[in-house]
Amino acid sequence: MPEGTGSPEPAVEEDGGVPTSSATPLLARPTVSTSIRFAADDPENPRNWPSWRKWIIVAAITPIDLSVSWGASGFSPASSSFRHDFGVSETVATLGLSLYILGLALGPMSLAPLSEFFGRSVIYIYSYGVFLLFLAGTALVNNVPGFMILRFFSGLFAAVTIANFGGSIADMWPHHETGLAMSIYLWAATCGSPSGFFAMSIVAEYRGWREVFWALLGICGGFWLLMVLVLKETRHTTILRKRARALIKDESADPGETDQDLLHHRSARELFHVALTRPFRFLFTEAIVIFAALYNGYLYGLSFLFNGAFGMVFGSEGHGLGTLGVGCAFLGIALGISLGPFTNLWQERHYQKCLLSVNQRTIPEERLQLATLAAIVFPLSMFWFAWTTYTSIPAIVPIIASAFWGWSFYTLILMTFQYTEDAYGVFSASALAGIGLVRNIFGAVFPLFGRQLFSNLGYQWGASLLAFLGIVLVPIPFILIRHGSAIRKKSPWASQHMDDAGTD
């Protein structure tokens, strides 16, 4: 059906995977079948790679993913030095954070389609390499407009893991076996903000904002070199296209039997049309995506709003800690987030047990058991934080509260991510792109009013207002557990995956 009719697209995998066919023989001779696919035991299929190779790739991309948020929050502890050097206001300095996050919001819409043409490994290496160049430029720039432009483009090219990391994991593991790798991916995505603030506060305590960017360049450059050394292409269609082209070049191959469908790329116009329009269709028409976008947006917005709020609560206006002391306060959130992957082991066992009881059929609602607890802990931890920000109360008390917030933050992000993936199957890339866009737009906007909120309402009522808004979101996981199946049946996209098996 034509775009805009409301009818779903044909169920073709939008992220480039190619289903494995046990009936298709391994290609061991020049003549090829009319449909080139991986055989069940094909060693070139990333899903057949040994576990050590898969986990080395995950281990190489994880610090890249972590550093994406370091590029955002790492600037915050040095913002006072930036203000002093250029004589700008707090709001203008905060734009250095917000414009980077805006780049993160828009980057996946261009980087994800490019992986169709060049493969994931090329996009990882070159996009992150360009990000490093922009980091160097940011350290050298001598005017505010140039700095802001460089910050935006830094975020745009740093978004490579947002566009591809989930797809890389799906390339290497069957759908219902991605739980552990996805929990690590989202740990890096959520822990980057607090850990980045802490890490760069060590530099900002003794040096200026330029040294912070030089430090980021050195660390991120090391991560990039590690990735270049170990990264292998995982995208199925890219591997198979390379194989098909090699067969064509072989003089003994029969060109008439080559899989022309595999060699044919969708046009750039078609790819970018889907990348730029379909996420918005999901955002405006799909209840599940709307719910997930609200939760993701609000949580990410708060995670970056804390960059300014913690400076007020724990800095010279509050508990009197220095730049490094404020950075240490973020370790509470980082600790809470880091507990999340361990508690998710219980959630994953519960999910796998439920899969066995339904013959491996898709049951997204069983992903949400821990989310119901996290939804309640989230506003409670915010109230705890709010009313322990008095300077008469030891600083460790609100820091402990922030650890509970960090755990709920991670758990809710992970649960909504996995639920959306299960619900939409081959269309999940578009659904998650819409959620990611909202998430990072909120992350860009929230820091711009965080200081004003806490200044005008006070620390206690400012944080309480944020907690009250969190209460509004509490019913979402409960609604999805109770009514998610009915919601999916009414969706033209999710309904196609109601009876999906556990293998893909």
pLDDT in tens, 126-151: 999 999 999 999 999 999 999 999 99
- Of 23-32, 43-52, 111-120, 146-155, the range with the lowest mean pLDDT is 23-32
Find where tokens 């080139």 sit.
36
Q: Which of 278, 298, 287, 284 is nearest to 108 (CA)?
A: 278
Q: What is the mean pLDDT of the chain?
A: 87
Q: State the amino acid at position 104 in one-letter form.
A: L
CB 436 within 8 A of CB 300: no
Whether residue 322 has pLDDT greater than 90: yes
Residue 215 CB contacts under 8 Å (≥ 6 apart), including other chains: 200, 203
CA distances 111 to 49, 103, 164, 238, 256, Å, are: 26, 12, 8, 16, 34
Q: Which of 189, 158, 115, 126 is nearest to 429 (CA)?
A: 115
CB 36 within 8 A of CB 246: no
- Find the mean pLDDT for residues 83-100: 94
Q: Would you state the pLDDT for residue 470?
A: 96
Domains within the chain, CATH numbers bracketed: 43-245 (1.20.1250.20), 274-504 (1.20.1250)
Q: Would you state the pLDDT for residue 24?
A: 35
Measured distance CA(493)–CA(433) in Å, rounded: 15
Q: Would you state the pLDDT for residue 261?
A: 53
pLDDT in tens, 3-35: 333 434 333 344 443 333 333 333 333 333 335
Q: Would you state the pLDDT for residue 20?
A: 38
Whether residue 473 has pLDDT greater than 90: yes
Q: Is the dihedral of CA 265, 268, 270, 272 positive or negative?
A: positive
The token pair at 46 is 């990333």
| Percent of all residues in the chain with a pLDDT value above 70, rounded to a whole number | 87
pLDDT in tens, 214-261: 999 999 999 999 999 999 999 988 898 888 887 777 655 554 444 555
Backbone φ, ψ for residue 119 (5° rounding): 90, 160
Measured distance CA(225)–CA(257) in Å, rounded: 40
